[in-house]
Amino acid sequence: MNSIRVHKTGGPEVLRIEEIPDPTPGPGELLVNIEAIGVNFIEIYQREGLYTVPRPFTPGSEAAGTVRALGTGVTEFKVGDRVVSQSMRGAYASRAVVPAERAVKIPDGVTTKAAAASFLQGLTAHYLATSTYPLRQGESCLVHAAAGGVGLLLCQIAKMRGAFVIGTASTPEKLELARGAGADETINYTTRDFAAEARRITNDVGVAVVYDSVGRTTFEGSLNALRRRGMLALFGQSSGPVPPLDPQILNRKGSLFLTRPTLNDYVATREELVQRSNELFGWVRDGLLKVTIGAEFPLVRAADAHRALASRKTTGKVILVP
């Protein structure tokens, strides 16, 4: 089968297509013919060596496709089922193995590409808006990178919950996409002080929650945009890690809450994974949640996909197709 392999850390050029043997599903596992692969920042960090992975390795964990073979003990799936997972080991390939308990069936009415493009980021948006800070009718929130993969989905889910949504982005085109996803107000954070604007928009009260995937360059402003006892949900660091923090800052700025959530802790059990997935795909199937595929590359052009994502010029989800 075809697979992207990384033998040494470095730039996108280290992503090389190779022919390797098909993996074999072990007990409780599925072998999947992959049809679409989600590209995520963690794979860039692994390729660059910021996150250590034994080499050589095949990047990727988010993919969707059709079950080709079953390991022993699998009863919930059958050959031919369409499935998606964010735990597909070595997903930058034409086939991969996944634990059956971490895979979810794709319902009728949801395309395989839409499933791959919405799964990890959709589950992230779901837990942020429904569990980390469960938005309530009339509450205000600020969504950074609102035209990105998570941002577009998060704006839509926030609006479904009745929130007033402020979205930030870096270009007029991205701001327009955020408005199309439901943002009530938008701010270009490269030309305006987004914290001051957020406070102006909320009559100097501040927002109930900031959903921040950017990190270093937005962190201080995100704290300043919050209302008293507001929450900063820092779920990414596309601009780099934030500096060390004196907890007294949270006190001085209004008894704020700061959390650094990660998806795995919100889908830790099979029951929670299935519950969130069913709700997410129900919204997609019923047309309540629009999935935006911003760029699609063949697997052999994985390096170009990484360049596109790292440039932060893409909108929506970047996917690979074997």
Q: What is the CATH number of the domain that holds 231?
A: 3.40.50.720
The whole-angstrom separation of Cα 4 and Cα 10 is 14
Q: Which residues span the domain enclosing 225?
A: 136-260
CATH number for the domain that contains residue 77: 3.90.180.10
Whether residue 8 sits in one domain with residue 82: yes
On whether both 285 and 231 belong to a single domain, the answer is no
Asked if the structure places residue 142 within a domain, the reply is yes
Domain boundary among 218, 243, 260: 260
- Do 12 and 96 lie in one domain? The reply is yes
254 is a domain residue: yes
The answer to whether residue 222 is domain-embedded is yes
Residue segments in the chain with a per-residue pLDDT below the cut of 50: none
Domain boundary among 217, 240, 260: 260
Query: Which residues lie below 8 Å from residue 191, measured CB to CB, with a gap of 6+?
Result: none
Tally the residues of the chain. Answer: 322
| In a shared domain, residues 256 and 162 | yes
Q: Which residue has the tokens 């043997």?
A: 21
Question: For 23-79, how does the pLDDT look when each residue is reduced to its tens digit (9 = 90+)?
Answer: 999 999 999 999 999 999 899 989 999 889 999 999 999 999 999 999 999 999 999
| 128 located within any domain | no
Shared-domain flag, residues 172 and 237: yes
162 and 201 in one domain? yes
Same domain, 97 and 150: no
Tell whether 244 and 291 lie within a shared domain: no
pLDDT at residue number 216: 95
Report whether 100 contacts 77 (CB < 8 A).
yes
Whether residue 147 is found in the same domain as residue 225: yes
Q: Has residue 123 been placed in a domain?
A: no
Residue 236 counted as domain residue: yes
Q: pLDDT per residue over 212-238, tens digit each? A: 999 999 999 999 999 999 999 999 988
Q: Is 153 helix (H, G, I), strand (E, B) or coil?
A: helix
Confidence (pLDDT) at 240: 86
* Domain edge (last residue) among 208, 237, 260: 260
- Mark whether 233 and 156 lie in a shared domain: yes
Alpha helices in the chain (DSSP H): 41-48, 112-127, 149-160, 172-180, 194-201, 219-224, 248-252, 270-285, 302-310
109, part of any domain? yes
What pLDDT is stored for residue 239 in this prediction? 87
Same domain for 146 and 35, yes or no, is no
Looking at the structure, tell me whether residues 143 and 255 fall in a common domain.
yes
Q: Give the N- to C-terminal CA distance of the chain in Å, as an integer.
A: 10
Structural domain count, the chain: 2
Rounded to whole angstroms, the Cα distance separating 196 from 14 reads 43
Asked if the structure places residue 37 within a domain, the reply is yes
**Exposed, middle or buried by CB within 10 Å (0-12, 13-18, 19+), for 77?**
middle
Identify the pLDDT of residue 237: 87
Distances (CA, A) of 89 to 3, 68, 155: 12, 15, 30
- With a CB cutoff of 8 Å and minimum separation 6, the contacts of 233 are 128, 132, 133, 209, 210, 211, 212, 259, 261
- In 4-38, which positions are buried (b, 16+ CB within 10 angstroms) versus exposed (e)? bbbeeeeebebbebeeeeebebeeebbbbebbbbb
